[in-house]
């Protein structure tokens, strides 16, 4: 196939005369749009230009006196005027609008009225100094994020929008909201004015608009509308079922299933994990406390110790970062003598089953080797250790731990169901696995991004590979991994990005 030829851009006079001669080809000749490439980028500008023309809008390649709407993205009004003025253009007769005006017009099929929220705002006089004075590293792995921070109302709102985007399988939008929330978690003071975060990384216009709405109205109408929406509530409930992902939940939602009662009446054939998830739904959607997690760790440690004396069992995930509760219990297992840990999971599972501790389990074998993982294969965010995903009977504080956890009477049982994940790793990979399984998810993602883009390395829960030197970098502790990456060590309690 012959490649498409790039369309030539004519001079200002030629472009204007061509556009004028084609006024009758546009649905709305009285509206002439010019897209400012500054901060928007050529690819996005070209895409919006073609889309606008397909919808019947006149979009000129160059600025002329005929332009009625100058559309830009992530610019202040004075920046746009200055940019145009430096090229000899007078923009006083044109509307200076945000790209949201264009997208809303394209959705409506006609130019919408320019409202105050569409107009570009002037850069506050103090914002330049504030932006210069306020400095925050771009990568979340360069920042310290404690559990207790001062901007919960904003981060909760952004996190809800991120969750909704994830349920819609819009990974890019979800990540943008997650990064914005992470930046505000690390912000050192309570946010009372949007000017405080001018220059703050990872805060795009959408996130800033949510922040501004909360500052002005005490809430975000978009967030509240999302929280109340039928799809969000149904998808959140359905994906809360153990063994159900967003794709399956979306299919069920499309079939009219909104809750467990409708799922049961639908006649859908569920797999073994999903049946267990429905059976124990109330327990599994209730937070696991630190006391309950510690009780699970003791039971698993006893079973592991009986099979492999000297093995180490570590409670990881949010609990290692200091969280008082979580949605599951993650335990990482290793042994100082490498190789003895292989095949441990089936033996531990057999002991836990004999104790009537398991309600459901599924085990997977180790599938990672250095030869298969690198250098040809890049590091993955998903590890390939020997593992058991399970639902267990967790002793409740009022229950007795007498070596057996029987008793299925709901009125007087001494246990509750909870998700418990067991992962076994070789001792040489323990530091990497410990770092990867501690989280938070965004912190780990940013660590891998930093390794790739800033250090030309590949980081996973198995290893750190230097692509320049073409060798693995050994590490016995998390601190050594941070040192390899030229990063200041961040303790687990400060990794809550």
The mean pLDDT values, 10 residues at a time, for the chain of 497 residues are 40 40 71 88 85 93 92 87 83 92 91 92 60 71 93 96 96 95 93 85 91 90 95 97 97 96 95 97 96 97 97 97 96 97 96 97 75 44 84 78 48 87 96 96 96 95 95 97 97 96
Specify the pLDDT at position 375. Answer: 43
Q: Is residue 1 part of a domain?
A: no
Q: Is residue 419 part of a domain?
A: yes
Task: Give the count of alpha carbons within 13 A of 282, CB side only.
Answer: 2
Is residue 203 within 8 Å of 197, Cβ to Cβ?
yes
CA dist 161 and 224 (Å) reads 10
**Co-location of 359 and 328 in the same domain:** yes
**Co-location of 98 and 24 in the same domain:** yes
**Co-location of 310 and 410 in the same domain:** yes
| Listed residue (134, 177, 496) closest to 324, CA to CA | 496
**Co-location of 407 and 296 in the same domain:** yes
Specify the pLDDT at position 127. Answer: 43
CATH of residue 239: 1.10.150.20
Specify the pLDDT at position 128. Answer: 42
Domains of the chain: total: 5
**Co-location of 244 and 310 in the same domain:** no
Residue 129 bears catalytic tag: no
Q: Residue 93 in 3-state DSSP? A: coil
* Pairing assessment for the beta strands 312-315 and 95-98 based on DSSP bridges: unpaired
Rg (alpha carbons) of the chain, rounded to whole number:
28
CA dist 449 and 399 (Å) reads 45
According to DSSP, the residues that pair with 3 across neighbouring strands are none
Q: Is residue 458 part of a domain?
A: yes
Domain end marker among 108, 141, 168: 108
Q: Is residue 41 part of a domain?
A: yes
**Co-location of 386 and 297 in the same domain:** yes
Specify the pLDDT at position 134. Answer: 57
Q: Is residue 4 part of a domain?
A: no
CATH of residue 147: 1.10.150.110
Q: Is residue 377 part of a domain?
A: yes
Q: What element of type H or E holds 460?
A: none
**Co-location of 294 and 396 in the same domain:** yes
Catalytic residue among 24, 421, 456, 466: 421
Q: Is residue 223 part of a domain?
A: yes
**Co-location of 310 and 411 in the same domain:** yes
- Give the domain range for residue 18: 12-108
CA dist 359 and 299 (Å) reads 15
- Average pLDDT of the chain is 87
Residue 90 bears catalytic tag: no
CATH of residue 85: 3.40.50.10190
Residue 421 bears catalytic tag: yes
**Co-location of 397 and 361 in the same domain:** yes
* Pairing assessment for the beta strands 415-424 and 464-466 based on DSSP bridges: unpaired
Catalytic residue among 60, 98, 330, 383: 330
* Pairing assessment for the beta strands 329-334 and 312-315 based on DSSP bridges: antiparallel
- Supply 20's token pair: 């004028």
CA dist 294 and 258 (Å) reads 35
Backbone angles phi, psi at 440, to 5 degrees: -70, 170
CATH of residue 452: 3.30.210.10
Domain end marker among 193, 212, 227: 227
CA dist 352 and 39 (Å) reads 58
Q: For 88-125, write each residue's pLDDT tens digit.
A: 888 888 999 999 999 999 988 999 999 998 999 887 76
Catalytic residue among 60, 98, 328, 383: 328
Calculate the alpha carbon distances from 341 to 306, 337, 369, 390 in Å.
Answer: 13, 8, 15, 19
**Co-location of 88 and 182 in the same domain:** no
* Pairing assessment for the beta strands 288-289 and 69-72 based on DSSP bridges: unpaired
**Co-location of 202 and 305 in the same domain:** no
**Co-location of 274 and 292 in the same domain:** no
Q: Is residue 208 part of a domain?
A: yes
Position of tokens 């991120």? 162
């Amino acid at each position: 196939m012959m490649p498409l030829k790039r369309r030539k851009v004519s001079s200002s006079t030629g472009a204007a005369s061509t556009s004028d001669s084609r006024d009758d080809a546009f649905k709305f000749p009285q509206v002439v749009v010019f897209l400012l490439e500054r901060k928007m980028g050529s690819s996005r500008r070209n895409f919006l230009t073609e889309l606008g023309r397909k919808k019947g809008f006149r979009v000129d390649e160059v600025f002329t006196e005929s332009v009625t709407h100058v559309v830009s993205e992530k610019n202040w009004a004075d920046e746009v005027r200055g940019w145009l003025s430096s090229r000899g253009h007078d923009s006083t007769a044109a509307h200076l609008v945000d790209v949201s005006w264009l997208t809303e017009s394209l959705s409506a099929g006609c130019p919408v009225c320019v409202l105050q929220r569409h107009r570009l705002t002037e850069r506050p006089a103090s914002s330049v100094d504030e932006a210069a004075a306020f400095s925050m590293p771009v990568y979340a792995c360069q920042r310290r994020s404690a559990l207790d921070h001062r901007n919960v109302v904003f981060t909760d709102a952004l996190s809800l929008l991120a969750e909704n985007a994830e349920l819609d399988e819009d990974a890019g939008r979800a990540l943008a909201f997650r990064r914005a929330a992470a930046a505000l978690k690390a912000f050192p003071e309570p946010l009372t004015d949007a000017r405080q975060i001018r220059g703050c990384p990872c805060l795009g216009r959408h996130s800033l608009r949510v922040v501004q709405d909360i500052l002005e109205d005490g809430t975000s109408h978009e967030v509240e509308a999302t929280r109340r929406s039928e799809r969000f509530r149904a998808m959140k409930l359905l994906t809360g079922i153990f063994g159900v992902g967003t794709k399956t939940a979306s299919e069920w939602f499309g079939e009219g299933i909104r809750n467990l009662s409708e799922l049961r009446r639908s006649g859908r054939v569920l797999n073994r994990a999903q049946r267990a998830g429905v059976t124990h739904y109330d327990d599994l959607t209730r937070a696991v406390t630190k006391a309950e997690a510690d009780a699970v760790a003791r039971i698993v440690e006893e079973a592991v110790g009986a099979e492999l004396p000297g093995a180490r069992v570590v409670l990881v995930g949010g609990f290692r970062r200091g969280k008082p509760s979580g949605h599951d219990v993650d335990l990482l297992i290793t042994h100082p003598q490498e190789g003895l840990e292989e095949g441990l999971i089936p033996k531990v599972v057999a002991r836990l089953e004999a104790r009537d501790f398991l309600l459901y389990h599924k085990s997977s074998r180790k599938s990672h080797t250095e030869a298969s993982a690198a250098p040809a294969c890049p590091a993955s965010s998903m590890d390939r250790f020997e593992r058991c995903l399970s639902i267990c009977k967790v002793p409740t504080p009022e229950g007795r731990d007498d070596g057996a956890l029987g008793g299925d009477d709901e009125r007087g049982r001494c246990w509750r169901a909870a998700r418990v994940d067991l992962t076994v790793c070789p001792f040489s990979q323990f530091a990497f696995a410990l770092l990867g399984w501690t989280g938070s998810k965004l912190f780990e993602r940013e660590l891998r991004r930093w390794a790739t883009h800033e250090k030309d390395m590949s980081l996973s829960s198995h290893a750190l590979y230097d692509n320049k030197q073409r060798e693995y970098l050994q590490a016995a502790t998390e601190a050594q991994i941070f040192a390899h990456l030229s990063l200041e060590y961040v303790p687990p309690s400060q990794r809550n990005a």
